[in-house]
């Protein structure tokens, strides 16, 4: 029974994708007499957390006095340990105790130093019966970006590309589309869910991508560009006003409107590590590495990736630029129209 309600928490949590960062995505469900009476998920950053939204949904439905009576016989399910500190909002652990909940079931503990175990401790000291570890691995996967940022001191890195059925990434000359329209729309959905998206100089120059969300509803990610000598034209789509653009280079640090130039000393030394650390300092929790091949290879060779999303189209080219090579394990393989999407994670 616990798993069924926690699964609902995880379904709710992902509704916050692309909106809660740098906070985690959390879902919460309140169960009274084997019936869900309240649900909530984390509001956009700075707003109420999942537990508060779940509690408020019950109060709005039944009135505060009746709701509090129900809470004394209810279990609150949360996909991540309730917070124990004052941040943008008061501690959720205190609120759960104050509302008089009988029991709290938690999927996993929060690794953030100001919370880790402290939220659980507050609940216990407040007389709430607690249980931890229900669908723990699934909950960690939902918040893999948040966990990576806290534990690795860098954003969660998603590699993304399309290749032909015979393993080619791009034609030797010009441009050629590999994936279908459904895949293109899915990529725009992904962009809306991540904090940033990165391309190298050559891709910005040849493909002239805008790297914005157009085929989906959602916010544009921050655009990240590698241009060592600042040789790219100001007229490129990546420099329009639709999103902030961060340009890593070897010449200057400057902020001009939507453009943020960041100079890296010893530019070619540990470049992926330098970029990811700078983005971490800017509170960026996740990034899609969009290309091109040289840029993707840079992160693969550094071992700095957490997920690879590879579209395989039906066409065979017989020649061209070979797709990036990497070692990982297949986590999922799904059809997106006529394309196959393979999702890999690094070997343990």
Q: Residue 121's CB: how many other CB atoms inside 10 A? A: 12
Is 290 annotated as belonging to a binding site? yes
Is 207 annotated as belonging to a binding site? yes
The residue to which tokens 């994670």 are assigned: 345
d(CA 287, CA 157) in angstroms, rounded, equals 5
* Strand-pair partners of 198: 224, 289
Q: Which two tokens stand for residue 335?
A: 């059809």
CB 79 within 8 A of CB 28: yes
d(CA 132, CA 18) in angstroms, rounded, equals 27
Transcribe 94-155 into DSSP letters. HHHHHTT-SEEEESS---STTTTTHHHHHHHHTT-EEEE-TTHHHHHHHTHHHHHHHHHSS-
CB 261 within 8 A of CB 278: no
Q: Decide if 315 is catalytic.
A: no
CB 21 within 8 A of CB 144: no
C-alpha distances (whole Å) from 228 to each of 132, 164, 233, 258 are 48, 30, 13, 19
Of the candidates 3, 11, 39, 51, the residue annotated as catalytic is 51
Q: Which two tokens stand for residue 297?
A: 């290879």
Is 2 annotated as belonging to a binding site? no
d(CA 124, CA 254) in angstroms, rounded, equals 50
The residue to which tokens 């104050």 are assigned: 98
Is 32 annotated as belonging to a binding site? no
Is 49 annotated as belonging to a binding site? yes
d(CA 339, CA 183) in angstroms, rounded, equals 7
Binding site feature residues = 49, 83, 92, 162, 177, 191, 203, 207, 211, 214, 290
Binding site feature residues for Zn(2+) = 49, 83, 92
Binding site feature residues for NADP(+) = 162, 177, 207
Binding site feature residues for substrate = 191, 203, 211, 214, 290
Q: Which residues participate in catalysis according to the annotation?
A: 51
């Amino acid at each position: 029974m616990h798993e069924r309600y926690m699964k609902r928490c995880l379904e709710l949590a992902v509704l916050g994708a692309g909106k809660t960062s740098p906070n985690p995505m959390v879902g919460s469900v309140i169960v009274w007499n084997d019936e869900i009476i309240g649900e909530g998920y984390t509001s956009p950053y700075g707003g109420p957390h999942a537990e508060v939204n779940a509690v408020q949904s019950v109060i709005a439905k039944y009135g505060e006095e009746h709701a509090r009576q129900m809470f004394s016989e209810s279990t609150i399910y949360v996909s991540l340990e309730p917070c124990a500190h004052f941040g943008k909002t008061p501690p959720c652990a205190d609120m759960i105790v104050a509302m008089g909940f009988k029991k709290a079931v938690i999927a996993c503990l929060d690794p953030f130093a100001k919370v880790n175990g402290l939220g659980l401790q507050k609940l216990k000291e407040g007389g709430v019966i607690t249980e931890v570890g229900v669908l723990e691995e699934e909950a960690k996967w939902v918040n893999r970006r948040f966990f990576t940022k806290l534990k690795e001191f860098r954003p969660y890195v998603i590699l993304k590309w399309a290749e032909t059925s015979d393993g080619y990434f791009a034609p030797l000359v010009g441009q050629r589309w590999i994936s279908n329209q459904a895949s293109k729309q899915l990529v725009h959905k992904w962009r809306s869910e991540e904090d940033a998206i990165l391309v190298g100089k050559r891709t910005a120059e040849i493909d002239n991508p805008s790297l914005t969300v157009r085929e989906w509803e959602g916010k544009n990610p921050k655009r990240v560009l590698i241009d060592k000598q600042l040789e790219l034209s100001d007229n490129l789509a990546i420099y329009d006003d639709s999103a902030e653009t961060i340009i890593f280079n070897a010449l200057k640090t400057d902020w001009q409107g939507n453009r943020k130039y960041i100079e890296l000393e010893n530019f070619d030394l540990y470049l992926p590590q330098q970029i990811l650390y700078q983005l971490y300092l800017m509170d960026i929790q996740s990034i899609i590495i969009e290309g091109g091949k040289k840029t993707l290879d840079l992160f693969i060779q550094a071992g700095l990736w957490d997920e690879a999303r590879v579209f395989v189209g039906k066409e065979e080219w017989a020649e061209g630029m070979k797709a990036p090579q990497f070692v990982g394990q297949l986590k999922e393989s799904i059809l997106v129209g006529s394309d196959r999407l393979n999702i890999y994670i690094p070997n343990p």
